[in-house]
Amino acid sequence: MGYLERYIGSRMSSALDTSAVRAQFPILGRQVHGKPLVYLDHAASSQKPVAVIEAQREYLMHYHSNVHRGAHALSQQATDAFERARSTVQYHIGAEHLEEIIWVAGATDGINLVAQAWGREHIQSGDVILITCMEHHANIVPWQMLAEERGAKVEAVNILEDGTLDDDDFQEKLKLGPKLVAFMHVSNTLGTINDAQRLTKMAKGAGAVVLIDGSQALPHMMVDVVDLGCDFYVFSGHKAYGPTGIGVLYGKKAILEAMKPWRGGGEMIDVVSLKNGTTYAGLPHKFEAGTPHISGAIGLGVALQWLTGLGLKSVMDHETILSSQARHQLGKIDGMRFIGSAPSTSGVVSFVVEGVHPYDLGTLLDQQGIAVRTGHHCTQPIMEHFDIPGTVRASFGAYNTLQEVDVLVQGVERALKMLR
């Protein structure tokens, strides 16, 4: 069965065979502090299946070469694999054109590319950039830096106590006429799934260009950028069962064509002349200066094929069951407070316990082999909103089980007996 057939088939739901999934992740068989590893830090970085590991290994061992400019066999083989991965991304997110897929180092890199290559050209003194209070720092700081440079202003949409966006505040701030609206598809801290299509339609109705940070959406749900209607969409490979150091910026072709390159160097040029200056390559290469992360792109393509083969609806259903069960069981613990309780959430459970610092709880869970994330999760405005120093965050992937939820709950109870 080809990739496209698997992609279409992913719209059909069936229960995950978790044992078969887990067997594809060698790291899950190890122990930490003498205990079986329970990895609940998927939102920070997912583990990698054997298919991804072997794809990178195969490239490095058998056909490593630089791409595009070589006439020899290894270069041609590497180029073919590299560009097939780009095609895989195109199909996976429903982009109309292959050249709309730009390889970047990750979502952070993609956002910075847009801030520099699009923002410097279009954001002027007095303009408004609209973000939200639930954003990852990667979707805040680049816009603050751009605003400071250009004399613009960054406004942020408030969030409600359940971790959803304040719709009234969003509509009110759209009246400011923002040039750009940037928001996350799914919150890495709250688990909130934003109605990205609706938000995009409203923002574009106000005349804004729209960028969506899809880092926490792509590993869990179907993403169709044409259906969403956004101008830019970014995601990181390492959160989607792929390698670190690779990600994707999708941009509408007409917008990308009008943008000037951000970085200069090899690959992004057409002709370089000391006398007549430089002309640039077309899309997508004008935004891909230098030698790319070739094995990373190949690995990411395989990761998306692997994920699609599981069935994204099945993955989402599985993770929803896990997070719902975790909330149900953890909610019985005295002093438990969940941060984020939106009606529509991904596989993230973020919580604090009265009188206990998240770091202390996370450290004691680690001693039991349970890997969770503690701290502000690169979302300090959320912590400020809820007046907390940070949270304990358990986040689930396709390889997690209900038994691991039980281990988490028991681990929290055990740790609290030691702390109280």
- Contacts of residue 335, Cβ cutoff 8 Å, sequence gap at least 6: 353, 354, 355, 356
Task: Please report where in the chains the tokens 């028991």 appear, as a residue.
Answer: 410
C-alpha to C-alpha distance for 385 and 381, rounded to whole angstroms: 6
Q: In 201-268, which ranges are E strands? A: 209-213, 232-236, 247-251
C-alpha to C-alpha distance for 316 and 241, rounded to whole angstroms: 15
Residue type, 377: H
- Beta-bridged to residue 172, according to DSSP, are none
Residue of 378, 385, 388, 401 with catalytic role: 378
Buried b (16+ CB within 10 A) or exposed e, 165-190: beeebbeebbeeebbbbbbbbbbbbb
Q: Are strands 101-104 and 247-251 parallel, antiparallel or unpaired?
A: antiparallel
- Contacts of residue 383, Cβ cutoff 8 Å, sequence gap at least 6: 376, 389, 390, 391
> Is 230 tagged catalytic?
no
H-type alpha helices, 331-401? 358-366, 380-386
Residue type, 388: I
- Contacts of residue 80, Cβ cutoff 8 Å, sequence gap at least 6: none
- Which of 1, 10, 9, 3 shows the shortest CA–CA distance to 218? 10
C-alpha to C-alpha distance for 182 and 295, rounded to whole angstroms: 30
Active-site positions read 378
